[in-house]
Amino acid sequence: MAIERTFSIIKPDAVAKNHIGAIYSRFESAGLKIIASKMVHLTKEQAEGFYAEHSERPFFGALVSFMTSGPIMVQVLEGENAVLANREIMGATNPAEAARGTLRADYAVSIDENAVHGSDALASAEREIAYFFAADEICPRTR
């Protein structure tokens, strides 16, 4: 098993509903360690840059507007197969299709306000971590 790092966001809807602690508890119960964390309120430019891969999609404007609507929590999770493990904890993008017991089944209301983000691959995890965190803001506990 490989120890990986992945990038996670608790989106504005879940922060507004006071679900930060419940969601952190899910990560920790699954064996993922939070090795960096902060609250930020994205500017339009930051949200557009983060989601640049979706810039041609019809929902891009709605996505940027939602992601800038309130503060978010951003965190780096570390653990065995962290990228896939976090995607499993999150559940499907559309909460209507998310498996029981996943974060999106329990905390998301719609495909556009779906509680959490998680990197979809190791390469995107590296890029997304670097988008939000300087090296000295990350505190690995697996040394």
- Binding site for ATP, by residue number, is 11, 59, 87, 93, 104, 114
- Judge contact between 119 and 125, C-beta under 8 A: yes
Non-local (6+) Cβ contacts of 51 within 8 A are 60, 63, 64, 67
Among 16, 62, 123, 139, interactor with ligand GDP by CB under 6 A: 62
| Least CB distance to Mg ion at residue 60 (A) | 13
Phi/psi for 39 (5° steps) reads -100, 135
Q: Is 59 in the site for ligand GDP (CB under 6 A)?
A: yes
Q: Catalytic residue at 117?
A: yes
Choosing among Mg ion, ligand GDP, none, which partner's interface includes residue 22 (Cβ < 5 to 8 Å by kind)?
none
DSSP secondary structure letter of residue 99: P
Q: Which stretch binds Mg ion (CB under 5 A): 10-18, 27-35, 44-52, 118-126?
A: 118-126
- Judge contact between 64 and 47, C-beta under 8 A: yes
Q: Is 63 in the site for ligand GDP (CB under 6 A)?
A: yes
